[in-house]
Amino acid sequence: MSRPIVGIIGNSHLLNGEYPAHAGGTMTSHAVADVAGAMPLLIPADPRLVSVAELMASCDGFVLTGGRPNVHPAEYGEDETDAHGAFDRARDAVTLPLVRACVEAGMPFLGICRGFQEVNVAMGGTLHPEIRDLPGRMNHRMPPDGTLEEKFALRHMVKLTQGGVFHQLFGAQEVLTNTLHGQGIKTAGARVVIDGHAPDGTPEAIYIAGAPGFSLSVQWHPEWNAAADPVSRALFAAFGQAVADWAAGRAGQARRWA
């Protein structure tokens, strides 16, 4: 029996600092294959190569991955500054309309880190260019030194809305997560429900109100240790079930997530 196909949004990359490539983290592919039970398919996020219509016709769901480049502030009506960092306008041009199309159609998607931010911007929200510069906020960025295990270590709690979507999914109102991001939600987009916060008030978990399909996104990186971490496993397993239901034509009968 063939597995459903999950498109993993790739990032632009330079091999050896000079050879252009499309890249995706192997841990995300393992999370999709081993926990979600789907076939991972790396997507070159460039509108010159793929269209939203083609992607939706070819895949049963999408993972909007993290990435070093940020969503360009022009996408939410602000000017570019040094604090906004690097950009990937080609990825913006693919993912933002893809999110809106998935919301409308009910196709499952899971946003992670930059993907979380893309979902908010796609729905009309805005972003802070640098969370750690805000009064009272902690530094959410990846530690600059140490092993991968140390960089992806669980670092803070996320408090979820009592009785909300994520509380029901995880079976707990507080979960421990890693944190490896610089930007974050400033204003929530239309229908974006902030369902979890870090201790400093930074939004960490969202979904789209009224979306007919799975539309959950998180600011942390659940792909790390996804098979062993209970929070990550629950998230990818639920996403995988939604993808399987879509592939089997059961989307209308599947669990409502919003």
Q: What is the CATH number of the domain that holds 66?
A: 3.40.50.880
**152 domain-assigned:** yes
Segment 169-189 mean pLDDT: 96
The pLDDT value recorded for residue 257 is 76
Neighbours of 235 (CB within 10 A): 27
pLDDT band at 252 (very low <50, low <70, confident <90, very high): low
Query: How many angstroms from the chain centroid is the CA of residue 258?
Result: 17
Is 43 domain-assigned? yes
Is the pLDDT at 225 greater than 90, yes or no?
yes
Q: What is the pLDDT of residues 87-114, one digit of tens each?
A: 899 999 999 999 999 999 999 999 999 9
> How high is the pLDDT of residue 87?
86
Residue 159 lies in a domain: yes
pLDDT attached to residue 81 = 82
The pLDDT confidence band at residue 36, using thresholds 50, 70 and 90, is very high
Of 21-25, 215-219, 240-244, give the lowest mean pLDDT range.
21-25
> The domain containing residue 230 runs over which residues?
5-253
Residue 42 lies in a domain: yes
Mean pLDDT of all residues in the chain?
A: 94
CA-based torsion, 30, 35, 37, 40: positive or negative: negative
Number of domains in the chain: 1
Q: Which amino acids are annotated catalytic? A: 113, 221, 223
User: For residue 12, is it within any domain?
Assistant: yes
pLDDT of residue 113: 96
**Residue 258 belongs to a domain:** no
Percentage of the chain modeled with pLDDT above 70: 98
Mean pLDDT value of segment 140-166: 91
Average pLDDT over residues 126-149: 89
Residue 253 confidence (pLDDT): 67
Q: Is the pLDDT of residue 246 over 80?
A: yes
Give residue 34's pLDDT band: very low, low, confident or very high (50, 70, 90).
very high
Q: Where does the chain show beta strands of DSSP type E? A: 5-9, 11-15, 19-23, 39-43, 61-64, 109-112, 126-128, 156-160, 174-177, 184-187, 192-197, 203-208, 217-218
Is 80 exceeded by the pLDDT of residue 256?
Answer: no
Q: Is residue 124 part of a domain?
A: yes
Kindly state whether residue 219 falls inside one of the protein's structural domains.
yes
Is pLDDT above 70 for 33? yes
pTM exceeds cut of 0.85 = yes
pLDDT at res. 12: 87
Let me know: does 198 contact 204? Beta carbons within 8 Å. Answer: yes
Contact 106, 122 (CB under 8 A): no
